[in-house]
């Protein structure tokens, strides 16, 4: 039991303190793109210094360590209930160790018991698969960027957004416009076309598990992703909304079926402090491999 707990605490530590390599590469590329001497460039340089400091001190990249979300893929005989209990213990241990801020509040009383464990905290998604592999991925999703997420119910007449891919494009770009720099951009968009109000948002977050530089296997969605990335970056919003060339680092779009009466487009925004990591575990719970 405690092997598994130690592994999850280590997963949380690394997620909180170290930016994944794909995100780092993308941030470095954007630093090159910005014009020398601009405030956009300065902002990205400070972000780089922050990344280095956090890693070397093993301290949270950002003080808002966000909501703690786990994605677990495991075989049929996997002890799901046991994992959940251990994950909750690990979250409260990681909070004691300072890898997570005391960040979970009772929604009615406002009380914060300092453990980060409570109803809906942490969030756990389990998926059973046929391979023997145990894969645990996690994400820390900050509040500032969560607040600029948006859900659109198509059609929307005043935006001339119909129930087609062009309508989707319009509302996704509207979300970028409304967010400006408020979600601590440059940001990454996770989008879901379809689903219901709950599954749409859930699936939009799921897109953040994809690497920034991967490409969508569906050619139509790939085109839409590239188009929104390019168009979004042409708006001049820039890092922190200071103006500049990098507004978005990536756009990831998934699709779910919908009922004929509904057409939702759900957009989640992830800040530059994109904290996600993952491991494969042995059956005893030991970390075998890092995934990002």
Interacting residue with another protein among 2, 128, 147, 283 (CB under 8 A): 147
229 binds another protein (CB under 8 A): no
273 binds another protein (CB under 8 A): yes
**Structure token pair of residue 145:** 């960027």
Closest CB to ligand SF4 among residues 132, 143? 143
282 binds another protein (CB under 8 A): no
Give the residue carrying structure tokens 């030991």: 286
Kindly write out the interface string for residues 162-191 of this chain, putting x where it contacts ligand SF4 by CB under 6 A and - elsewhere: ---------------------xx-------
Q: In the range 87-146, which residues lie near ligand SF4 by CB under 6 A?
A: 142-145
Interacting residue with another protein among 212, 272, 276, 277 (CB under 8 A): 272
Pair 276, 137: CB distance under 8 Å: yes
Return d(Cα 192, Cα 64) in angstroms, integer.
25
Closest CB to ligand SF4 among residues 62, 172? 62
180 binds another protein (CB under 8 A): yes
Which residues of the shown chain bind ligand SF4 in the complex (CB under 6 A)?
62, 64, 66, 142-145, 183-184, 271, 273
């Amino acid at each position: 039991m405690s092997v598994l707990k130690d592994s999850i605490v280590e997963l949380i530590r690394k997620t909180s303190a170290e930016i994944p390599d794909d995100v780092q590469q993308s941030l470095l590329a954007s630093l090159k793109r910005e014009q020398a001497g601009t405030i956009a460039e300065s902002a990205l340089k400070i972000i780089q210094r922050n990344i280095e400091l956090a890693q070397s001190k093993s301290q949270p990249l950002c003080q808002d360590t966000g909501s703690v979300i786990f994605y677990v893929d495991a075989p049929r005989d996997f002890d799901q209930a046991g994992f959940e209990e251990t994950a909750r213990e690990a979250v409260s241990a990681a909070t004691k160790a300072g890898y997570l801020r005391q960040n979970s509040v009772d929604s009615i009383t406002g009380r914060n018991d300092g453990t980060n464990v409570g109803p809906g905290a942490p969030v756990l998604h389990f998926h059973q698969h046929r391979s023997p592999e145990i894969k645990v991925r996690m994400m820390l999703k900050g509040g500032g960027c969560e607040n600029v997420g948006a859900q659109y119910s198509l059609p929307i007449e005043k935006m001339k957004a119909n129930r087609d891919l062009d309508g989707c494009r319009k509302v996704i770009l509207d979300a970028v416009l409304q967010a400006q720099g408020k979600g601590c951009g440059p940001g990454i968009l996770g989008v879901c076309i379809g689903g219901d109000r709950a599954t749409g948002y859930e699936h939009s977050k799921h897109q953040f598990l994809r690497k920034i530089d991967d490409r969508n296997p569906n050619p139509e969605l790939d085109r839409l992703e590239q188009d929104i990335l390019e168009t979004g970056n042409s708006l001049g919003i820039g890092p922190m909304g200071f103006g500049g060339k990098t507004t978005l680092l990536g756009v990831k779009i998934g699709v779910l079926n919908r009922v004929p009466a509904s057409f939702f487009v759900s957009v989640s925004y992830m800040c530059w402090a994109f904290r996600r990591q993952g491991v494969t575990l042995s059956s005893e719970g030991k970390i075998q491999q890092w995934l990002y």
